[in-house]
Structure formats: C-alpha cells, structure tokens
Structure 1
C-alpha cells in the first residue's frame, strides 16, 4: 500500500478530525491550550451565500482604455 493510499483511506475514515479532537483534548487537560490567543479564520469555511458573481467582481488586471480608432 502506498503512502498516498493510506492517507486517502485515513481521510475517508475520518481519522484527521478525530486526531485533531484528541490532541486538543490532551492539550486542554495538560493546561497547554489557552483560548485567549485564539483567532477565528474563515478561510476554511464555505460561504453558502457566495460572493459576487463572476461578472460583477472587480478586476485585478490593468484597466483597458477605450478605443478611439
């Protein structure tokens, strides 16, 4: 079995979220996890209402000048 297959199997089995929960619980029990310095990060949370539609987004490219020819 390759490492990638093993990682895939563990992911499908829900190993990573469970491992995360266990590690956090152990850190809390040992007094090594304080929420005073925690930050909320929305980069991993799906935006169900979504953002602007593609045609309404601001362009990050250069502004094109109107053709005068």
Structure 2
C-alpha cells in the first residue's frame, strides 16, 4: 500500500527503467543542445529508437 505522495514500487521500477534507457543516449545525458526545441527533438528521436529496439525482436 502506497503512502500519500509516494508512487507504488512497481510503477517506480517502470519509471527507473525508462530513465536508464534514456540515459544510454549521451546527447541526452549531458545536455549539449542550447535550444529547447533541439533537445525535445532528440528526446523524441531517442524514444522512437527505444520503441523500435523493443519491437524489433517481437516482429522479427
């Protein structure tokens, strides 16, 4: 049972796993981009690459 203000442990694990996937992208880990739009585009690109890598073994 979660206390007020604290997420359940299973949800926390999912968030920590997602953070570790994004941390594998160096340009996101150390923010070199000065413009917010450029950084956001890199985040979207990283999310697409992560989704592709997760789906590729399933669909061959």
Q: Shorter-chain TM-score: which interval?
A: 0.3 to 0.5
Q: TM-score, normalised by structure 1?
A: 0.30
Which has the higher relative contact order, 1 or 2, with Cα contacts under 8 A spaced 6 or more apart?
2
Counting helix residues as a fraction of each chain, which structure ranks higher? 2
Larger Rg: 1
Q: TM-score, normalised by structure 2?
A: 0.33
